[in-house]
Amino acid sequence: MRIATWNVNSITARLPRLLAWLESSGTDVLCLQEAKIAEEQFPFDQLRDLGYEAAVHATGRWNGVAVLSRVGLADVVKGLPGDPGFDGVQEPRAISATCGPVRVWSVYVPNGREVDHPHYAYKLQWFEALRAAVAGDAAGGRPFAVLGDYNVAPTDDDVYDRAAFEGSTHVTPAERAALASLREAGLADVVPRPLKYEHPFTYWDYRQLCFPKNRGMRIDLVYANEPFAKAVTDAYVDREERKGKGASDHAPVVVDLDV
């Protein structure tokens, strides 16, 4: 079974590449983030033509998450229970579903913007709500994983230059402590380092030739419980999908399971 996560940075802009990638990659379940589309405008028909059902939590221009599956889609939960909201709004940043033998969450963690911005405090509160929401499944016997854009680099090795991020979000002790809290709930990072290259980054800014210069970050993660982790046979970042015209600024992260 092949499961992936991908921040597509607008499904409208990325649709031709998304459909081609699904056809060529052999992916059974895709957790998708930053759809940037209203649910009623989601390309259900095009995905159905490829054999995928879709569960979507999206409201319009910003955010938006989905789970695409060709192995079944059941017990869908939209939104994060206990979501603290930002400026009185609960944003579409989480969705969960059972796909065949596994249960997955697709999450798009708040960016945080700046350390002294209210959005940063919201990000930390959101992490607390996520930990509470997934603790039961994490401790269970069914393969379970939380996949998505976490907007946190777990270690200094997960950014191209720690000094370049001094004083900014994504690398602060509080954000990394939030990841540690998730792991303490019974989840582990199942994408090893190194992979086939020294730095398996998943995100590169569009500006300043960051991708050709490999000035990236590893912020798209797969955190899984023990039954899921034990079933992993391979994991990789599909850097090829970050290349060329019309690419997202994130690459898909792919995990193969023997279930």
Tens-digit pLDDT profile for residues 171-230? 999 999 999 999 999 999 998 665 555 568 999 999 999 999 999 999 999 999 999 999
The CA distances from residue 6 to 92, 145, 221, in Å, are 16, 14, 10
Peptide bond into 194 cis (omega under 30): yes
Q: Which domains does the chain have, with CATH numbers?
A: 2-257 (3.60.10.10)
Residue in 108, 150, 160, 236 annotated catalytic: 108
Token output for 64:
């938006």
The answer on whether 258 is annotated among ligand-binding residues is no
The answer on whether 250 is annotated among ligand-binding residues is yes
The answer on whether 220 is annotated among ligand-binding residues is no
- Give yes or no: 149 in active site: yes
pLDDT of residue 195: 52
- Give the residue among 193, 259, 184 at the shortest CA–CA distance from 221: 193
- Give yes or no: 87 in active site: no
Q: How many helices (H) and strands (E) does the chain have?
A: 5, 14
Tens-digit pLDDT profile for residues 137-161? 999 999 999 999 999 999 999 999 9
- Give yes or no: 120 in active site: no
Tens-digit pLDDT profile for residues 59-116? 988 899 999 999 999 999 999 999 999 999 999 999 999 999 999 999 999 999 999 9
Task: Give CA–CA dist 62/173, Å, rounded.
Answer: 27
